Amino acid sequence: MSRRRGRLQTRIARHIAFAVVVSLVASALVLVVFRHRGVQRNMERSARTYASLISTPLANIVGFLGSGGQDLLDQQVARLRELNEDVERIEIVSVRGRVVLRSEVGEVVVYEDGVDAPRVTDLDLLHAISGLESTASRVSRLDGSRAYRVVAPVVSQWGRHTFSFVGTFSYDRVDQELRSSLWLSALILAAGLGLTQWVSVTLAGGITSDVEKLREGVQRIQEGHLAERVSVASRDEIEELAEAFNLMADELLATIRRLREANRELETLDQTKADLVANVSHELKTPLTALRGYLELMSEGGLGGIADEAQRAVMVCRKNVQRLSLRVEELVQLSRLDRFTALDSTREDVDLSSLLEGVFETIKPRVEDRRMEFVLRVEPDLPVLEANIEQVERVFLNLFDNAVKFTPKGGSVLISAEHSVHDGRAGVQVRITDSGIGIPAAELVRIFDRFHQVDPSSRRRFGGMGLGLSLVRSIVEAHRGAVWVESEQHVGSTFFVWLPTADVGGVSLVKGAPSARLENADEDRLAVEEM
Amino acid sequence: MARIFVVDDEPDMVDLLATILRADGFEVETDTDGRSALARMLADTPDLVLLDLMMPDLDGMELLKLLRLDPKGAGVPVLVVSARSGHQDQLGTLQLGANAYICKPFSPRELVRQVHQLLANSQGETRE
């Protein structure tokens, strides 16, 4: 940012300087051109006046003096020449074109009626000489320079027109005037440039100092000083911009306050919810404990024998209390998971083989009267996982329980665990394959959603609130794992759970060669139960 | 026979626990108030305490702390009964000096098993 600071001033200064220089140059040029024209017009006018004034006296001098008194002639002509500073050559020419008198600088030649007298051959000039009107024209000379030529008729007192005056005037003085004007303009321009530099930088600084103030204000706010405001009193767009900016900062501050307030409310609400769930679970679990305890005592004869009818009723009660207990526990788990993050959960090393075995043994009694094949196959040397043991246990409890629940009598539930690489990370994959009723394709995506059940009537048939699978997904995802399902209706479903291996020094360990795994798996059936 | 002290603010729970334990032949004393229970336990130390965590006034955690501070109550095995099933809650209770933890809703058989185990452990320690 600092590298760009001051560039704006330079840019504006450059624009100002450019504008000033262009106008200076333009006005100088205009002035020079006008001045030049004026000078030239003056010179030509005085040349014409001069010609009309001296044509007759000069002709008279020639007439009176002839070539007899050369000195006097020279003197007289020189005096006449002095009347005009631009005059170069003056001639008296007869209307037939014969030069009678010619005066160049410093010399006067008078031609008698001799043969050596030069003649005018230029037709235009001859025409002008023979005319009765004064004419003037700009002519180019052989060497390329310009000249002004004035022809004035000399009319005698008897009205005869025998001679004409031809004056040639030089533009040297005009050109010199032009050159000196140009030099003067250049000099003024040079001085102006220096002045422009200073003026433009000062002017630009006036503009950019406000912009700089604005920038500093923005930076202060950006650094977190949200209460800071920008004050610019330039009475223009920049001040307007500063005001708009201040308004935006006000709005920002208000929004941040509102968000903080909302966040505090949410935190309070979250805490209230957690407290509520804790209390509810206590309120529900205590009566459930009393129910369960007495029902078990009754059915096991602890309170004296009861009739068979009553015994059946007690069993129904026990089953339903069990169900209620499970649901309550699910609710508690779910509410805890909502607040579960990778940071605040306790992780420990988990031996997945023994964990799966434990869950398997828990579920096993449930399949005993259903003539089902229920098999657990665990690959040897499974890596240690870093996980929350309680939650991972719940994942498999839910999945095994689901598989058994949705598989009819005589079906099979096969569970296997093996090394697996998922998305380039090492881990363990557990497959739970059942020969149950399956899941319609349209439902496959949604079954992990909270409170979702494939068939609303299944709530009655199979129990549960549709929380089980959403709990599974929440736990697995909190462990940076993945869970998915493949299923075909009336054939069965396979649930996959993949959990990452505990990182050792940031490197995932993959144990065992992949090719050797499946062969080992068959030999190492940890638990096989066929009925 | 071993004497067991049951503390729970719910009369029904106290009744159930007492019934289960008496059915197994234990001598049972009960109290539904934490403060009076603590006073009684310190006056006449039982062989084992069954303690509910959530109680009004003096709750189970506080009671446990006070019990452990007194030399008479320091060695009594305590089995905590709680509705909280979280790993953290269990750990916290054990750190405060409870010997075991049982979650509601539990089965009477599981309760009796745990009680027997705790008593066996504490007798083993006393003999040493």
Which residues from chain A sit within 8 angstroms of residue B17, using beta carbons? 293
Q: Using alpha carbons, select from A210, A212, A248 the residue that is nearest to residue A229.
A: A248
Q: How far apart are CA A360 and CA A354, in angstroms?
A: 10
Q: Which positions of chain A have pLDDT values less than 70?
A: 1-3, 65-68, 112-115, 278, 335-346, 450-467, 503-531
Q: How far apart are CA A241 and CA A249, in angstroms?
A: 12
CATH of A346-530 given 3.30.470.30, 1.20.1560.10, 3.30.70.20, 3.30.565.10: 3.30.565.10
What does the pLDDT read at residue A343? Answer: 39
On whether any CB of chain B is under 8 Å from the CB of A331, the answer is no
Give the one of A293, A297, A390 whose C-beta lies nearest to B87's C-beta: A390
Which residues from chain A sit within 8 angstroms of residue B104, using beta carbons? 285-286, 288-289
Residue in the structure block whose two tokens are 């380039």: A424
- pTM (predicted TM-score): 0.45
Question: Taking CA B19 as the corner, what is the angle to CA B18 and CA B23, rounded to the nearest 5 degrees?
Answer: 115
Residue range A358-392, pLDDT digits in tens: 889 888 887 877 788 889 999 888 888 888 887 88
What does the pLDDT read at residue A527? Answer: 36
Q: How far apart are CA A135 and CA A149, in angstroms?
A: 8
Q: How far apart are CA A25 and CA A19, in angstroms?
A: 10
Neighbours of A126 (CB within 10 A): 18
Query: Domain A229-339 classified CATH 1.10.520?
Result: no
How do beta strands A527-530 and A507-508 pair? unpaired
Say whether pLDDT at B9 is over 80. Answer: yes
Q: Using alpha carbons, select from A19, A65, A323 the residue that is nearest to residue B105.
A: A323
**Cis omega before residue A408 (within 30°)?**
no
Interface predicted TM-score (ipTM) of this complex, two decimals:
0.82
Query: CB within 8 A of A483, min separation 6: which ones?
Result: A395, A448, A472, A473, A476, A477, A495, A496, A497, A498
CB B118 within 8 A of CB B79: yes
Cβ contacts below 8 Å, chain A against chain B, sum to 65
On whether any CB of chain A is under 8 Å from the CB of B86, the answer is yes
Residue range B32-62, pLDDT digits in tens: 999 999 999 999 999 999 998 888 888 888 8
Which residues from chain A sit within 8 angstroms of residue B54, using beta carbons? 282
Would you kindly state where each structural domain of chain B is located, as residue ranges? 3-127
Q: Which helix (H) or strand (E) holds A305?
A: none
B83 and A282 in contact by Cβ < 8 A?
Answer: yes
Q: How far apart are CA A249 and CA A258, in angstroms?
A: 14
Neighbours of B91 (CB within 10 A): 12
Which residues from chain A sit within 8 angstroms of residue B83, using beta carbons? 281-282, 285-286
Find which of B17, B107, B109 to mutate to test the A interface (most A CBs within 10 Å of its CB). Answer: B107
Give contacts of A 266-285 with B, CB under 8 A: 278, 281-282, 285
- Helix residue ranges per DSSP H, chain B: 11-23, 34-43, 60-69, 87-96, 108-127
DSSP state of A405: H
On whether any CB of chain A is under 8 Å from the CB of B106, the answer is yes
On whether any CB of chain A is under 8 Å from the CB of B87, the answer is yes
DSSP SS3 for B82: strand
Six-digit token pair at A120? 């005018």
Give contacts of A 370-399 with B, CB under 8 A: 388-390
CATH of A2-176 given 3.30.460.20, 3.30.479.30, 1.10.510.10, 3.30.450.20: 3.30.450.20
B83 and A290 in contact by Cβ < 8 A?
Answer: no
Would you kindly state where each structural domain of chain A is located, as residue ranges? 2-176, 229-339, 346-530
Distance from A285 to chain B by nearest Cα, in Å? 6
CB A95 within 8 A of CB A161: yes
Give the one of B12, B54, B85 whose C-beta lies nearest to A329's C-beta: B85
B87 and A286 in contact by Cβ < 8 A?
Answer: no
Distance from A293 to chain B by nearest Cα, in Å? 6
Say whether pLDDT at B111 is over 70. Answer: yes
Six-digit token pair at A509? 């360990």
Q: How far apart are CA A416 and CA A150, in angstroms?
A: 125
The pairs formed by A71-80 with CB atoms below 8 angstroms and a separation of 24 or more are A73/A108, A73/A110, A74/A108, A77/A101, A77/A103, A77/A108, A78/A108, A80/A54
Q: Provide the sign of the torsion angle of the four alpha carbons A385, A389, A395, A397, taken in this order.
A: positive
Q: At what angle do helices A468-478 and A308-338 cross, to 10 degrees?
A: 40
A288 and B104 in contact by Cβ < 8 A?
Answer: yes
CB A111 within 8 A of CB A62: no
Query: Domain B3-127 classified CATH 3.40.50.720?
Result: no
On whether any CB of chain A is under 8 Å from the CB of B104, the answer is yes
Q: Which helix (H) or strand (E) holds B2?
A: none
